[in-house]
Structure 1
Amino acid sequence: MTQAPLAETPAALPFVAPDDFRGAMREMIGGVTIVAGGRGSTARGLTATAVVSMTADPPTVLVCINRQGEGHGAIRSSGVFSVNVVPADGVGIADRFAGRDHVHGAARFEAEAWTTHSTGAPVLIGAVAVFDCEVLQAIDVFTHTVFIGAVRGVAVAPPRPALAYRAGAYVAVA
């Protein structure tokens, strides 16, 4: 894989203020997912909206994970992760993996049914869709790591609304 050089830009241009950036980002609608990495007792996960498809051929996804979060270490050390699209009725699990109920570690997986697919990463039974991934590349950028994952398996449930996030609130998307 080669990297193209960055376009030349004036180095003196400042970043926008973090609060202004966060305010603008809150207006974007993000699909709510649980990104889970590790295997067995080392499994960890987090709620994420920073997930996108990267390429269709070969199938790859990109996830951005904060290096301070417990899910980061599980993905980094195991080399696998799953992306689980949360159904509209999954506010409880989204909050759990966002840390809102103060449950941490492997205990987060106790409230719902999980399985594994080809990589061994935890996969949420009942997810709208699942992407089972092997890490191809990890790129550290400021506070986060961008993980590029080769999609080794998918599962898609019968059509139903998914959970999304905008302006600090969950919304259902059909």
Structure 2
Amino acid sequence: MDQPKAPEAHHDAGHAVEAGLYREAMSRLVAAVHVITTHGAEGRAGFTATAVASVSDSPPTLLVCLNRRIRSAPAFRHAGRFAVNMLAAEQQAVAEAFGGRGGLEGEQRFGVGQWHEGALGLPCLTGAVAVFHCRLVEARTIATHDVLVGRVEAVTLGPDRAKLAYLGRGFLTV
């Protein structure tokens, strides 16, 4: 019986993987959608992220990847604290606003969704599935992004309902 042929690998030992191929492969990864927020001397800032991961539960620590090219990037390093708002399925408009769709910038983005001040004085999305209130313990620059490592100082659980996810360059409900 014939064995199925393995897909051809696209690589060359002497060269890095081409960015477009990498992005296409990553678009096939289902990821939870979050809005990361902070509040510092520059005011409130936020961005949409799928690159969020648990680092440890003892002590509770997570990481967020932040593209250094976005306008609000410096605010996250300077504020020293951030909130990770895990979005419910019906909060897609919030994800789009903080992801740059619709032309809203800075403080204007907080006009989408209902926001309140949470632990550590951070902007928290009312109705989020969960909010992790973090103090920045390390920031490391890797390629085009800053990897922000945060010690979770408080968690707020919202209603346990359908979550917003991202796959194939589009939103879906899980």
Provide TM-score, normalisation by structure 1: 0.89
Deviations 1:46-91 (A, max 9, x none): 1100000110000001000011112311111110111001110111
Residue aligning to 1:9: none
1:24-173 mapped onto 2 (5 Å cutoff): 24-39=25-40, 42-173=43-174
Deviations 1:82-138 (A, max 9, x none): 100111011111110001100001111022221222222211111011001110000
| Structure 2 unaligned blocks of 5 or more | 1-12
Moved segments of 4+, more than 4 Å: none
Residue aligning to 1:22: 23
Larger Rg: 1 or 2?
2
Q: Which whole-Å CA distance do the structure 2 matches of 1:154 and 1:71 have between them?
A: 24
Tell me how far 1:15 sits from its aligned partner. Answer: 1.4
Provide TM-score, normalisation by structure 2: 0.89
Deviations 1:18-66 (A, max 9, x none): 0000000000001000011124861111110000011000000100001
Does the CA-based 8 Å contact 1:39-1:120 persist in structure 2? no
Change (3 A) 1:126 1:41: farther
Equivalenced residues, count? 162
Question: Counterpart of 2:54 in structure 1: which amino acid?
Answer: S
Three-state SS of the structure 2 residue aligned to 1:91 is helix
Structure 1 stretch 162-171 or stretch 39-48: which is displaced more? 39-48
Does the CA-based 8 Å contact 1:34-1:46 persist in structure 2? yes
